[in-house]
Structure formats: C-alpha cells, structure tokens
Structure 1
Amino acid sequence: MDGQLQGLIDAVDLARDERSIRNAIKKFAVSSGFDRYAYIHVHGDDAVVFSDYPAEWLSLYFAKHYTTIDPVVTTAKRTMRMFAWSAEERELRRSSRDIKQFYSEAIDFGIRSGVSVPIRTSYGRTAMITLASDRQRVEVPPWDPMQAALALAYIHVRLSLASGSSFKTGNVTLSTQEATSLSWSSHGKSMNVIADLLGIRPRTVQFYLDNARDKLGASNLQQAVRIAMEKKLI
C-alpha cells in the first residue's frame, strides 16, 4: 500500500476517539499538500460531515442545502472514482447560476480546488473524503485508487463507531456532558468552576469543550458557544 495511505490508516487505527481521528486526517491532508479536509456521508438531502472547513461555510452550506447541487458530491456519486476538481474550470462557464454561486462562495472561504475519493456504503449511500486547497488547480496524487478507497472505508467505519453519527441534515449532536460544559462556559464560568459544578476534573471539562468545539467546526470556545446557541444546542 502507498506509504502515505498506510500512515493514515495506522494513525486512524491508533486514534482513541473522534477528535483523534479528525486530527489524523488533518495531518494527512497537510502532509499531502492540501489545506483542509472534509469527510461527508450523504444519502439524498441528508448528510453527516466531519471537516475543518470554516464554520461559517459549513453553516451556509447546509442552510442552502448545497449537498443537492455541490458538483463535487454529485460527481462522486455518479463516478465512484478518485478525481480532482477546480472551482475555476472552463466548463463552469456553462454551469447553472446556482452552481456558479456555489463555487464563488466556496472560493471566498479558501476552497478553490481539491481531490475527492468516494465509496458506496449501505443502502445506496455515498461516503467521500475531500482534500481541499486554495490553489487554482491540483493534480490527483499518485495513489492507487483501490488503496485510497480502502483507506476511506476504514476511516468511514472508525468515524461511524467513534461518533455514533446519524443523518441529521447538517445538524450537530452534542453529548450531555459537552452541552452542559458549553452551557456553563456561555455563562462565564471558568473551567475550574465548571469542574466543581459537575464533580469532574478540569482536564475532563477541557476534553468536553474541545470535542464540542470540533463538532461545531469552531476555531475557539467563544465561536463554539455562539454556534451552539444559534443551533439551539444549549
């Protein structure tokens, strides 16, 4: 197996939880020359997403139901093969207004090109991983397509087991501990105070807050609180 892909599988295998799996994918994306990653599991209009894309872009993506028109998703579902894509391809000149707007907004968030690997999962669903870049164009890495698909299949299983994910049309589910810790934080409570209130250690509170921040795609705790409140999670 390709050394990079084998390294990814090894890192995911050693990961203890969802956050560690996401970190392993992020490191793989960066070491492969990309800026960001997105894992998405789609079935119709429903989707489960794990990504380090900007939170504002993810919120916009689901608010506008872009899973139904995203050319990367539709191409993945149609071809079931690894492919490179760019928001600045000449063919876009003949695209619909909605797709042109989609790509224009993606570019605003630094998502200009990338490589995607899809696989078919149960009940006709599609899982895919995208490595994205702000460059105008990228080339497909010299990975064996079958090995890349196997790596994605492994990530898919590990993420599904670690997160207990279900289809919620872009919604985020926080555990009781994550939501409670985030709620106390929104009221200005420090980590030590939250730990005393919940009868747990401060580092456990940190763990719950970090998980909540990652799930919400936030870059800091304040942003996580804002997103959680907007989504009525706290």
Structure 2
Amino acid sequence: MAQFDSKFHDMTEGIRAVASLADAADRLNTIVESYGLETAAFLTVSPVYEEPSKPFYVTTYSPDWVKRYIEKDFFDIDPVLRHGLRAVTLVDWKEIDLSDKAVRTFFGEAREHGVGKHGITFPVRGVDGDRGILSVTSNENAAAWQAFLKSEARDFQYLAGEFHNAIGRIQGRPRHQTVCSDREIECLKWYARGEKVKRTAEILSLSPRTVRFHLDLARAKLGAKSLAHAVAIATERGLFFQKLF
C-alpha cells in the first residue's frame, strides 16, 4: 500500500460506511466483483468468556450452499473455520490437510455449490477477545491466483480488519481499531531497535518477505504514515510493553 490505490481506498471507505447486514452483504458483493473473485464470506465469533453461540456471518455463497451448510452443521467440520479462528496470519486453503474423508467431502460439496477452487482466509483478532475471518475464493488459474495473492494479500488483511469493525457496529459492539498480533509488534520492536529486515528475519527465524508483511500490517493497523510513525504510536500506547515484556 505504498502508493495510493483508488480501488483499495473505495473499498475501505465503503466498508466503513456499512451500517446494516444488508450493507455488509452489498459490500462483499462489490469486493467480489471489483477483484474478479468467485465468492467472499466474513464470519465472527464472540469472545471466549461470553456465552457460546453460533457464529455471525455474511456471505456471497449461494442460498443452497448456506442452507446445506447449516442443515449439516458444517460449523463443526469446516477446516477453514477451525484453522482461521486460531491463526494469526493468513491461511492458504491449499495448505489444509485433506487426509480426512469428511474434510475432502466438505470441500467437494463446497465446489459443487459454487465456492472457488482457490481460497484464502484472513484472520482478525478484536481487542475484546472476539475473532473474525474474511475468506475469498477464485476460479482463476494457479498463476493468476498467485499474482492476486502477491499484489492484494496485504490490502485484504487490512480490509478484513475494517470488516470486523463494521460487523461489530452491526452487533452493537464498541468500535475499536484492530489490534496488532504479537508477531507484528515483535517485528516492529526490532525495527524500532534499528535492525534491518534481513537481520530481524534471522532473529525471528522468518523470511525477509514475512517480516516485511508483518511490518506493513502493523503500520496499516496502527493507521501510521510510516514505520517510524508506527513505532511512535506503538510506544505511546504501550504496545511493546504489553506484548513483549
């Protein structure tokens, strides 16, 4: 997001204007159409300390698939849901273990009902313990899908956070900015200490690309204009102390 992207700006502003479930559904459809995707879905669950409840969701999936999903209670089978709500970084569906027959059957039915052959999930963690996931799918060829991930993944992680805030407003939850993950703050901490990306990658046993990914996300989530600005904001909010010491 180093340079101005009018489409990303429009998507962000559109999500921030969401005030109802119908608005959220319209916004998901706009995202699918604008980025040439097959489907999109957002799901959120309450904080672990609240009474258990079914997830709250909005999706562009076909009504038949939504009905089938609910009737079969796929909430307990869906590996995207299981992995996404535990993850702190994006989940590429191609990395999901398909050795379980029930999982293979689930994905087979999903594709029969129009869910794309490629999928990725962006996890979000709210400051009150609530969690959400934005999942998008595509039927493009493998090369086009990888090009999409390379060019849009960081922006979509940010959009996931904005969507989480929007759903929170619909549910009547206080609006908070999406919090940074421990890993994002850790990378930002080493940046604040003057370490280069390559050295930070060595310290944390990550790839340089992954370190840059976390730094960019931290900057975006903190609403900072630069990494130096992000360090200042994180320091002011005491994030380094809260997350790392």
TM band (smaller chain) = 0.5 to 0.7
Q: Is the 8 A contact 2:24 2:58 kept in 1?
A: no
User: Which sections of structure 1, spanning at least 5 residues, go unmatched?
Assistant: 166-234
3-state SS in 2 of match to 1:81: coil
**Identical residues among aligned pairs (%):** 18
After superposition, the Cα gap between the structure-2 partners of 1:79 and 1:24, relative to the gap in structure 1 and judged at 3 Å, is same
Residue 114 of structure 2 is matched in structure 1 by 110
The alpha carbon displacement at 1:29 in A equals 2.0
The alpha carbon displacement at 1:98 in A equals 0.8
Residue 169 of structure 2 is matched in structure 1 by 161
Q: Of 118, 122, 125, which aligns to 1:120?
A: 125
Residue 180 of structure 2 is matched in structure 1 by none
Separation in 2, partners of 1:123, 1:64: 30
The alpha carbon displacement at 1:49 in A equals 1.0
Equivalenced residues, count: 160
- The structure 1 segments of at least 4 consecutive aligned residues displaced by more than 6 Å after TM superposition are none
When normalised by structure 1's length, the TM-score is 0.58
Separation in 1, partners of 2:141, 2:75: 22
After superposition, the Cα gap between the structure-2 partners of 1:46 and 1:136, relative to the gap in structure 1 and judged at 3 Å, is farther
Matched, 1:81 2:89: yes
Letter in 1 for 2:35: S
After superposition, the Cα gap between the structure-2 partners of 1:61 and 1:122, relative to the gap in structure 1 and judged at 3 Å, is farther
Q: Of 94, 100, 111, which aligns to 1:96?
A: 100
The alpha carbon displacement at 1:104 in A equals 1.0
The alpha carbon displacement at 1:135 in A equals 4.5
The alpha carbon displacement at 1:103 in A equals 0.8
Residue 18 of structure 1 is matched in structure 2 by 21
Residue 61 of structure 1 is matched in structure 2 by 69
- Aligned-pair Cα RMSD in Å: 2.8
User: Which sections of structure 2, spanning at least 5 residues, go unmatched?
Assistant: 47-51, 174-245
Separation in 2, partners of 1:136, 1:62: 30
After superposition, the Cα gap between the structure-2 partners of 1:72 and 1:135, relative to the gap in structure 1 and judged at 3 Å, is farther
Q: Is the 8 A contact 1:45 1:68 kept in 2?
A: no
After superposition, the Cα gap between the structure-2 partners of 1:159 and 1:79, relative to the gap in structure 1 and judged at 3 Å, is closer
Q: Is the 8 A contact 1:110 1:133 kept in 2?
A: no
When normalised by structure 2's length, the TM-score is 0.55
